[in-house]
Amino acid sequence: WYNALRLLIQSCDQIKIDKKVQFTYDEKRLYSSMSLNTNVMDRWIVSYTQTLLDFVKQEMNAYRLYTVVPRLVKYIDMLTNWYVKLNKRRFKGETSMEDCLTSLNVLCYILLTMAKLMGPFTPFLAEYMYQILRKLMSTTSTSTTTTTTT
């Protein structure tokens, strides 16, 4: 999970140096691009994340922590061993620039969601990662995110 964050930061730095493009996470752009996005892996990881969020909410409301942790571990495994590995070329900008920015936006969304979700389980790591990810947000996303998390 932390290594996925490192890859995101490195990819953002690399496209800034190579292509002179500054990546900024924008939630509105994410949702508009998802309707047009034909990449199956992006759709899969976003769907898998939403399913995980529903599961965690349901299980935590029932105070069943013992069912949540194994599912979180499996999710992190799927994220790092499938999604990240199969999309490394996209993150580096080896495909089109639009595809690169879309993939970075999806990864940033996933990591932000994970930072919020993991807060009760790993509070210090989740906060550390959230503070790093916050630097990638546009000012409109920051105000939206701040409003929704409080």
Domain residue ranges of the chain, discontinuous segments joined by +: 2-149
The pLDDT, as a whole number, for residue 55 is 94
The pLDDT, as a whole number, for residue 146 is 40
The pLDDT, as a whole number, for residue 34 is 66
pLDDT < 70 regions, the chain? 32-37, 138-150
Q: Does the domain formed by 2-149 have CATH 3.40.50.10880?
A: no
Global confidence as pTM: 0.80
The pLDDT, as a whole number, for residue 37 is 65
What stretches of the chain adopt beta strand conformation (E)?
Answer: none
The single-letter code of the amino acid at 130 is Y
Cα→Cα distances 140→113, 130, 136, Å: 17, 16, 12
The pLDDT, as a whole number, for residue 147 is 37
Q: Of 120, 109, 101, whose CA–CA distance to 4 is shortest?
A: 109
Find the distance separating the first CA and the last CA of the chain, reported in whole Å: 24
